[in-house]
Amino acid sequence: MKIAITGATGQLGSIVVEQLKNRVSADHIVALARNTEKASALGVEVREFDYSKPEILTGALQGIDRLLLISGSELGRRAVQHINVINAAKEAGVTWIVYTSLLHLETSSLNLAGEHLATEKALKESGIDYTLLRNGWYSENYTASIPGAMGGGAFLGSAGDGKIASAPRADYAEAAAIVITDEDNKGKTFELAGDTYYTLSDLAGIISEQSGKTIPYNNIPEDEYANILKNIGLPDGLALGLASWDVSASKDDLFDDSHELSKILGRPTTPIVESVKMALDLASV
C-alpha cells in the first residue's frame, strides 16, 4: 500500500509526512513535490509533481493507492490544477483521494470557496472514493501578525466580533495523517476547527497578557486595512485577500463547534494561548 502526499514540501504537507512516518513505514509514503530537491530532506520516496504539468502527473501516481491532495497555493489557478490531479489519479488507478477543503464550504462567504467547490465537484464526478477535510483557519494566520502588532502598538483587522475557531497547522496535519491511514474514513466529510473560539479583541488581550505590553485591537474598515497591508509591502492580491477574509471572519465563517478535529485527534485541539506563546517566543518580543 502506498500513500502519496501532494504539497509535501509545504508547511502543512511536511508535518503530514512526519506524522505518517509515526504510523506507517516510510517505504509506504511518497512525497510529491514540484521542487524535488526541497523534498529530499523528508526521508521518503520523492516524485516530481507539478499541478500545472498534466503530462507528468499520471506517471508520478503509478502504484499509488491513497492520495492526500493538499490544495495548492496559487490562488485563481487552483481549480484547474486540482482537476489535473484528479484526472491523473483516475488514469493511474488511485483508489482514494483525501482533499484539504474549506470549513463549511457550501455556506462560506470566503472568496476562496469557489476553487474548493470546483474541486469537490470534480472529486464527486471522478468516481474515485474520496474524503473531505474541510479545514478551518490556521492559528498561524493570525499569530503571524504578532510581531507587526507589537511593533505598531495595536492589532489591526476587520473581523469585528467574529468568532474564530482556529487550530495550528500541526493539528490539521496530524488529523490528515490519522484519516488517510484508516479506510473507514472513505466517503466522509469532516468540518475541522479548533475546540474553542476567540475574537480578535480576545486575541489582542492574550497577546497583551503574555507580552506584558498593552496591545489593543483596532477594528478598521476593509479597504483601510487592505491599504495598510499594501503599504507595509504585501502584494496587492494578498492584502485584499487578508482584508476580505477578515470580513468573512466577522460573519462567523471561521467558527465551528462540531469538535470533529479533536474527535479525530483523540485530544483537545491546541488552544490559541499556546500558539501565541510560541509566536512570541519565536519573535523574541
Q: How far is the CB of 156 from ligand NAP (least distance, A)?
A: 19
Query: In which residue are the cell numbers 484519516 written?
Result: 179
Interacting residue with ligand NAP among 72, 162, 194, 271 (CB under 6 A): 72
Q: How far is the CB of 216 from ligand NAP (least distance, A)?
A: 25
**Separation between Cα atoms, residue 241 and residue 244, nearest integer Å:** 5
Interacting residue with ligand NAP among 19, 81, 158, 248 (CB under 6 A): 81
Q: What is the dihedral sign for C-alpha 48, 114, 112, 173?
A: negative
Q: How far is the CB of 111 from ligand NAP (least distance, A)?
A: 13
**Residue with the closest Cβ to ligand NAP?**
10
Closest CA to 190 of 142, 130, 141, 249: 130
Q: Which is nearer to ligand NAP, 10 or 194 (CB)?
A: 10
DSSP-based three-state secondary structure for 107: coil
**Separation between Cα atoms, residue 177 and residue 72, nearest integer Å:** 18
Asked if residue 194 binds ligand NAP (CB under 6 A), the reply is no
Sheet holding 189-192, edge to edge: 45-48, 29-33, 3-5, 66-69, 96-102, 129-135, 189-192
Asked if residue 51 binds ligand NAP (CB under 6 A), the reply is yes
Interacting residue with ligand NAP among 4, 7, 97, 229 (CB under 6 A): 7
Q: How far is the CB of 90 from ligand NAP (least distance, A)?
A: 18
Asked if residue 197 binds ligand NAP (CB under 6 A), the reply is no
